Chain A
Amino acid sequence: MLRKLMTLISIVLVATFVLTACAPAATEEPEVVEETEAVVEEEEEATEAEEVVEEEEEAEPVTIEWWHITTADEQKAVWQKLADEYMEMHPNVTIEITVLENEAFKTKLTTVMQSGTPPDIFQSWGGGTMNEYAEAGLMKDITADLDANDGEWRSTFAPGALGVFSYQGKNYGVPWDMGMVGMWYNKALFAEAGIDAPPTTWEELLTDVQTLKDAGITPIAVGAGDKWPGAFWWEYLATRIGGEDAFMAAQDRSGSFTAEPFVQAGEELARLVEMEPFQDGYLGATWGDEATVMGNGEAAMDLMGQWAPGAFKENSASGEGLGDDLGWFQFPMVEGGAGDANDAVGGGNGFGIGKDAPPEAIDFVKYLTRAESQVQCAEVGFCIPVVKGGEAGLSDPIMIQIQESFAQAEYFQLYYDQALTPALGSVVNDAIQGIFAQTMTPEETAQMIEDSAVEELE
């Protein structure tokens, strides 16, 4: 009896330990980071449209569920205002907004997706993750709505941005922001090292790195512990060297990730890593650490997306960031590469439409992506508009520069961890970290990605 009891207790103990280990973790790597204010999950009941207007049509009452991750007060207010306006115009519609912090959102969305009950409208980054949801029948096909009236709605979007939200020729969402990764640099540190113009070629960049090092300045900040900030380097090199064709061939399996451009991207990155251009402890550093180093003016360059300035500011000791010393330039071209110097790696934000969304939800999304709505969100500085006319709201010169560079891009490469399936994307990030740690050769990195691609892409 005693022995049995002890055995039982052992089983319970072990099981509890194992199962507690299964509980959702505190943090997970963010793929696309919005300026994450330290706001914990926070719910906001939309103000009910109380005045029942004595309109002639008595429509059925409809409730729209909307989850977004815009947590900063000023920015959140824009969404709330647009929802209030819409409810005023359509008294039968109630919009319930749930504001979630980025990581909390991803965890919560995964859970509702697995139980098959997505919200009507939710934050989406398009690409591989959205495709998996679409494949599982959890998203609504809105192709017909975009094409209605001769493509009236579709024609308002920048086609590249809209394409991120389509899968096998069907649309499951629309973008409201699209930006690109580029090189942020500290003008004062460049001047101190005697560099008068940002580099335009990869060799020039390597020379500048050496110049900065000689001047006793840390050339580059990177958060390789989070993996994706490091992966940007490899992805950009692969895009410059192999261009659109290399990626497309690897993705549709007519080529592979062990092809020359991907290995060469690894070799070029390894050359950079050998120069030891990064801040101390970069292998364990997060994106937050990276932003601290850059925001404090302790490193000269940082390869990051359009959301970086806010993070530099927030993470800097002064709370001010670099101010006017902050500059931006395109990732340099690689000599002899097949890619165009204007091709961009990036991504953005959009609205995904859940499978049970009522027609009113789609109409509301249409309202949210009008040029006027886009101007409002650009004015507050949390989006780079994707709808024609929306750019009127941009005022920050760097944002305008990014928007113009983005518009010039012939080919738009979505971040690999978004473009590919979630599993493959995470392998890409893991593999590239091996180059930063100098534990894997460029060939091994390419092989590891290819091995996973064989399984993930058919």
Chain B
Amino acid sequence: MAVQYQPQPAQEPKVSEGYGLTRQAKNRITIMLFLLPAIVIFTVFIIYPIFRSLYFSLFDWNGLGPATDFVGLDNFKKILTDTIFQKAVINNLLIAVLSLAVQLPISLAIAIMVGRDFPGRGFFRTIFFLPYVLSEVITAIIWLGMFNPNPDRGFINALLEIIPGLNPVTFLGDPELVLIAIFIVLSWKYFGLHMLLFMAGLQNIPHEIEEAALIDGANRWQMLTRITVPLLGGTLRTSAYLSILGSLTQFTLIWVMTKGGPVNASEVMATYMYRYGFVRFWLGYGSAVAIVMLLIDLIFSLVYRRLMERQDYLAA
């Protein structure tokens, strides 16, 4: 774009050797050629399915045969007035808020700890990162075992039983506790990723600044709040972005552990979509839910980008 404002030389633009094309046009063709495979894949696997879903979301359709029962925006009306969907959105938001308020600070604290020089830090880094490597299904099955209400089979309840005065807790069977139990598993799985991001961010903070602060008599807490956190700004924003987006689209772990139950207590948008689309065979309705999810995530994404980009420019 900036090219347009370049002062044009008085003569004709230089004709490149042989093909009669300007260098600019040639560049453009090269760029297009390199982008083509990506654009094709992007179109076939992302753009096309989105528009397909949009189309199906206007029908009352069970997935068998062609979709013929056109219902307009009825599906969307039903979604927005359904109390279970509202509950699912609230659960998504709860997980997002908890992630920001609990998971990220813990990750930061651990990153600061294992970022220091001490014997065995490589060991701890690996240990902390390990859960992130596991697939979500495997994580869910491991924790199903951990949470088993029978102390003979569930590790956590076996621990609780040792402490006098405590009874076994049915984490996944109690509508009040189930979301917290799931949040614990999500945190366990993903804090390693954020720890890694923070460690990379910490390494970019020049030692000189910290030294200067020390000379000026700053204490630990001042160092953390005045130097480390502000200078980690970009990393923090990326972490928060990934964390919120992950919370909004969470599916696998919850579906394997509770299927959104008991009685919708751990329902999130994605499990709601799956329940209607693939268990109840309302593919039209399920598609509409997917579109609503896409809009929510997209709007969040764009707004967040817009706000944070400004921050990034200011910081830079």
Contacts and interface: CB of A to CB of B under 8 A. Distances in A.
A14 B173 CA distance: 32
A293 B248 CA distance: 36
B277 to A, nearest CB: 8
A410 interface: no
A136 B64 contact: yes
Given A1-B1, A18-B294, A280 B150 contact: yes
A19 B49 contact: yes
B251 A423 contact: no
Given A14-B298, A25-B274, A422-B280, A281 B263 contact: no
A284 B172 CA distance: 5
B302 A7 contact: yes
Given A284-B262, A434-B263, A6 B309 contact: yes
Given A132-B281, A437-B263, A281 B170 contact: yes
Contacts of B46: 12, 15-16, 19
B262 A283 contact: yes
A433 interface: yes
26 contacts: A16-B46, A17-B248, A17-B297, A19-B45, A19-B49, A20-B249, A20-B251, A21-B249, A21-B293, A26-B252, A27-B256, A28-B279, A114-B63, A116-B65, A225-B262, A280-B168, A282-B173, A283-B170, A283-B263, A284-B149, A284-B171, A284-B262, A289-B148, A423-B62, A430-B263, A433-B263
Chain B interface extent, by class: 35 or more
Contacts, number: 150
A281 B150 CA distance: 8
Nearest to B287: A22
Contacts of A27: 255-256, 259
A7 B46 CA distance: 15
Nearest to A293: B150
B62 A132 contact: yes
A95 to B, nearest CB: 27
Chain A interface extent, by class: 35 or more
Interface of A: 1, 3, 6-7, 10-22, 24-29, 110, 113-114, 116, 132-133, 135-138, 224-225, 227, 279-285, 289, 292-293, 298, 421-423, 426-427, 430, 433-434, 436-437, 439-440
Nearest first, the 9 A-B pairs at minimum CB distance are: A281-B149, A284-B173, A281-B170, A284-B172, A283-B173, A136-B64, A281-B173, A17-B249, A423-B280
B28 to A, nearest CB: 14
B258 interface: yes
Interface in B171-195: 171-175, 178
B173 A137 contact: no
Nearest to B181: A284
A18 B250 CA distance: 9
Contacts of A279: 149-150
Interface in B40-85: 42, 45-46, 49-50, 62-65
B273 interface: yes
Contacts of B256: 25-27
A185 B287 CA distance: 45
A433 B263 CA distance: 6
Contacts of A289: 148
B261 A427 contact: no
Interface in B286-315: 290, 293-294, 297-298, 301-302, 305, 309
Contacts of B301: 10-11, 13-14
A61 to B, nearest CB: 31
A223 to B, nearest CB: 11
Given A284-B172, A285-B173, 11 more contacts: A15-B294, A21-B273, A25-B256, A28-B279, A29-B259, A224-B262, A280-B170, A281-B150, A422-B279, A426-B275, A433-B263
**Majority SS at the chain B contact face:** helix
B236 interface: no
Nearest to A434: B263
Q: For B170, B263, B309, which residue has the most chain A Cβ atoms within 10 angstroms?
A: B263
Contacts of B50: 15
Contacts of A292: 153
A454 B294 CA distance: 30
A291 B261 CA distance: 20
A436 to B, nearest CB: 8
Contact of B64 (A1, A24, A114, A423): A114
A18 B45 CA distance: 12
Given A14-B294, A17-B249, A283 B261 contact: yes
B258 A284 contact: yes
Contact of A14 (B137, B252, B297): B297
B280 A3 contact: no
Contact of B261 (A1, A18, A133, A225): A225
Contact of A284 (B137, B170, B245): B170
A10 B280 contact: no
A439 B255 contact: no
B50 to A, nearest CB: 7
Given A14-B298, A22-B290, A26-B252, A423 B282 contact: yes
Contacts of A29: 259, 279
B270 interface: yes
Q: For B64, B171, B172, B290, which residue has the most chain A Cβ atoms within 10 angstroms?
A: B64
A216 B309 CA distance: 64
Contacts of A224: 262
A290 B106 CA distance: 37
B124 interface: no
B284 to A, nearest CB: 11
A17 B245 contact: yes
B305 to A, nearest CB: 5
A148 B258 CA distance: 50
B153 to A, nearest CB: 8
A419 to B, nearest CB: 16
Interface in B237-271: 245-246, 248-249, 251-252, 255-256, 258-259, 261-263, 270
B173 to A, nearest CB: 3
Interface in B142-174: 148-150, 153, 168, 170-174
A422 B275 CA distance: 11
Q: For A27, A224, A284, A434, which residue has the most chain B Cβ atoms within 10 angstroms?
A: A284
Contacts of A440: 263
B164 to A, nearest CB: 19
B170 A26 contact: no
B149 A280 contact: yes
